[in-house]
Amino acid sequence: MSASTQQLQMDLSKELKQRAREEGFNPVGLARLPGSHRLQLRTAALERWLDQNHQAGMAWMAAPRRRDASQLMDGVQSLLAVGLNYYVRTTPKPGRLKVARYGWGRDYHRVVEQRLKRVGRWLSEQRPNCRWRVCVDSAPLLDKAWAEEAGLGWIGKHSNVIHAERGSWMVLGHLLTTEALEADEPARSLCGRCQACIDACPTDAIREPFVVDANRCLAYHTIENREPSLPPKIADALGPWVAGCDICQEVCPWNHRTLPSSDDPELQPKPWLLDLHRSDVLNWDDASWDERLRGSALRRIKPWMWRRNAEASTPDSPTNLW
């Protein structure tokens, strides 16, 4: 590669990351396929996780393309990884039901996808012959591993990506492209000997560092479990959680720092989510569910599932860590 070509590559890489920041993404980073040796280790870890049936009912986690990002788009050379901070410095009212913070605002799939598509269109203006594809977490991409590869943060023992200044309260998105871009340094783990998340999980879902068994996870059961009733051990540990669970992130020391509170209009919590009564959810009909959850990622939880979860919940439980 000539010096001039390399300089053009570096300039475009810098400008692309800046364009992503203009869409509200922070952190941002770039990686080159096929990735470093660490990415190979993460892929091998996925295989072990699947072999142990830790995916529970999430059969889509076994999609072959998840193991190889090059299968997602012909000619892909690089990947832009972005994080969108959804932490808002507020809390639910005491004695109320709880919803994981990622679901407080507008459906993050739509928010991230729309913004990354604008970044992609900008890239097309700079390089008309390049191609690109947007991936949010519904795409078969090893998204956390690629975020780590691009330097956004490291994968914590609770399996969430942690940024040293922004903690783990962020959703991820990726832009795959055929353009050759300058890769950033992969992030290095700073968890050390800490195991606060492991100790705090009420169902021992974090079986060992970096390994979460969905069969034991409150978030999995409240969002993905389609059975008419929750397993007894899950119901007993549910506490106030009816949609996801943030316990492992709440206790993480990296989230105990003074974190930036998002002022993004699309990520602000709906007031009713911070004042959610058990009796209200138990009486939800389909129309109430549709009205409240229009444009929300929480629509994945169907009306009868909300009622099932609320029935098992105990809003005044000591598992309330806020």
Specify the amino acid at residue 201.
C
Q: Which of 95, 94, 97 minimizes the C-alpha distance to 242? A: 97
Which residues 6+ apart lie within 8 Å of 14 measured at CB?
Answer: 182
Separation CA 269–CA 87 (nearest Å): 10
Tell me whether residue 275 is one of the annotated catalytic residues.
no
φ and ψ of 143, to 5 deg:
-65, -40
Say how far residue 164 (Cα) sits from the centre of its chain. Answer: 16
d(CA 273, CA 106): 12
**Is the CB of residue 47 less than 8 Å from the CB of residue 64?**
no
Indicate the DSSP class of residue 50: H
Q: What is d(CA 277, CA 10) in angstroms, rounded to the nearest whole number?
A: 53
Q: Which of 68, 137, 264, 280 is catalytic?
A: 137
- How many CB atoms within 10 Å of residue 167? 23
Q: Which residues are catalytic?
A: 137
